[in-house]
A = this chain, B = another copy of it.
Amino acid sequence: MRATVKDVAARAGVSPKTVSNVVNGLVPVSERTRSKVEAALAELDYVPNLSARGLRNGRSGVIGLALPDLSTPYSAEVAHHIVEAAHDQGWSVQIEETGFDPQREHDLLSKARTNLIDGLILNPVVLDESAIRVGGTLPPVVLLGDVVQHLADRVWVDSLAAAKDMTLALARNGRRRIAVVGADQGRGSATSLLRSRGYREALSEMGIPHDPRLEIGCDYWTPRGSAEALRAFLADNELPDAFFCFTDSLAIGALSVLADAGHRVPEDVVVAGFDDIEDGQFAVPALTTVSFDKKALAVNALRLLTERMGSPKRAVVDVSLPYRIVERGSTGPGGSRG
């Protein structure tokens, strides 16, 4: 049986509350009493019961992190930074996977683990934010990424602008037949929608005709999903000048298919990604991509969450992170790793 404050109190010859005072250090305790209690704490190997503390204090010290799929490198990197940042602030992180299922996003918000978690960082995938329109009692929530509505605090990168910039960069590089991988398939992925839109805006700005056949959809945003989609595409179409993949994971799948098919990158076709995941830097060739500071994403999300807990009714805050196009070998000879 674990020791409780009561046991420690008995052993130290004081009251439970005094033990609590020593443990928490918020209330002054005399030197003599403190040392007695500390001895008892050590002897009994006391560990506070966080359930009880959470019940009493109304706060558990745990935040939730909901991501579509933890196994994708992007999610993993984000999770890593969030866990690190949370740890620095004394929070623990409970992970949930939404599996691209709007229902699960919704469940997490309304029912789910409320009162075991003090707040939620949610990376949604669907445009329809019905999930977030929640009656009254929304727990403190911070959204990550491409979400349209301004119903909760959010940290994001301007997908549309970045996709547009990347497309423009490819076009200025002399590419005309630019295909995208991960195009919107009407399933409401905000990311897909916004990046598609940026792509089209860039085309129109450059006076490049828009060819719908060059918008390649993927059922799964993984290297495998991309590879399958691309193989099918290549079977029916001529090789375009460029593939702009909406994530680095998609791009890695693309590089693999292109290599297998004997197409040289960047000589025959160039490839670009989005997210700047670690493995993209070490792809062959290294991946040109849209880069942004994922640690800043995490730190800002946590900051917003903390602030929101402090002042539940302040106006919604929106933090937009800067991004930049990083050119590496997959779009030309000049690129460097790192």
Chain A 134-173, CB within 8 Å of chain B: the 1/0 string? 0101000000000000000000000000000000000000
Nearest CB of chain B from residue A9's CB, rounded to whole Å: 18
**Chain A interface main SS type:** mixed
Q: Which of B55, B112, B281, B337 contacts A52 (CB 8 A)?
A: B55
Q: Which of B94, B115, B222 contacts A94 (CB 8 A)?
A: B94
Which residues on the B side are within 8 Å of A253 (C-beta)? 282
Q: Does A49 contact B (CB under 8 A)?
A: yes
Chain A 243-260, CB within 8 Å of chain B: the 1/0 string? 000000100110110011
Which residues on the B side are within 8 Å of A116 (C-beta)? 50-51, 54, 60, 62, 92
Distance between Cα atoms of A81 and B70 in the complex (Å): 9
Beta-carbon contact of B284 and A255 below 8 Å? yes
A45-B135, A97-B84, A114-B47 known; A73-B73 Cβ under 8 A: yes
Which residues on the B side are within 8 Å of A227 (C-beta)? 282, 337
Within 48-65 of A, Cβ neighbours of B (below 8 Å) are at 48-52, 54-55, 60, 62, 65
Which residues on the B side are within 8 Å of A182 (C-beta)? none
Distance between Cα atoms of A49 and B96 in the complex (Å): 18
Q: Does A69 contact B (CB under 8 A)?
A: yes
Q: Which of B2, B83, B112, B113 contacts A70 (CB 8 A)?
A: B83
Q: List 24 A-B contacts (CB under 8 A).
A: A2-B113, A49-B114, A50-B113, A51-B51, A51-B52, A51-B60, A62-B116, A70-B76, A70-B80, A71-B73, A71-B76, A71-B77, A71-B80, A71-B81, A73-B76, A80-B97, A87-B96, A93-B95, A249-B279, A252-B283, A255-B284, A256-B283, A259-B284, A283-B284
- Which residues on A are within 8 Å of B, measured CB to CB? 1-2, 45, 47-52, 54-55, 60, 62, 65, 69-73, 75-77, 79-81, 83-84, 87, 92-97, 110-116, 135, 137, 222-224, 227, 249, 252-253, 255-256, 259-260, 278-279, 281-286, 337
